[in-house]
């Protein structure tokens, strides 16, 4: 039996604080290409769609170019794989620091 995934949905100050912490984690730069990202930019959910969840370990800061590529180009699968690998390293780093 596959365990149910709990989806977390934040709003208001809680969501803003989460987005700020992700931007801080990335030094306000795109996690993929390292281009500067304006403060206040909403982080991208990975996975997206029905399984998206407002969690630190499931969100990544992307510039507008990488975000566009993630959704609208032939590179979308490659970008998705990069996002997943990046987030896996974040989780691993957090686990090691504890």
| Residue spans per domain, the chain | 12-96
pLDDT tens digit string along 5-42?
Answer: 789 999 999 999 999 999 999 999 999 999 999 999 99
pLDDT tens digit string along 78-88?
Answer: 999 999 999 99
Which pLDDT value is given to residue 20? 97
**CB–CB of 63/35 below 8 Å?**
yes
Instruction: Examine the pLDDT at 74 and tell me if it is beyond 80.
Output: yes
Structure tokens at 79: 């970008």
Provide the CATH topology of domain 12-96.
Answer: 3.40.1800
Give this prediction's pTM: 0.84
Q: What is the CA radius of gyration of the chain?
A: 13
């Amino acid at each position: 039996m596959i365990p149910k995934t709990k989806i977390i949905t934040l709003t208001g100050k809680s969501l803003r604080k989460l987005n700020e912490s992700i931007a801080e984690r990335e030094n306000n730069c795109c996690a993929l290409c390292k281009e500067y990202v304006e403060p206040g930019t909403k982080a991208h959910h990975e996975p997206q769609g029905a399984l998206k969840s407002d969690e630190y370990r499931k969100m990544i800061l992307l510039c507008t170019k990488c975000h566009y590529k993630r959704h609208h180009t032939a590179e979308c699968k490659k970008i998705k794989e990069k996002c997943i690998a990046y987030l896996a390293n974040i989780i691993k780093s957090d686990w090691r620091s504890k």
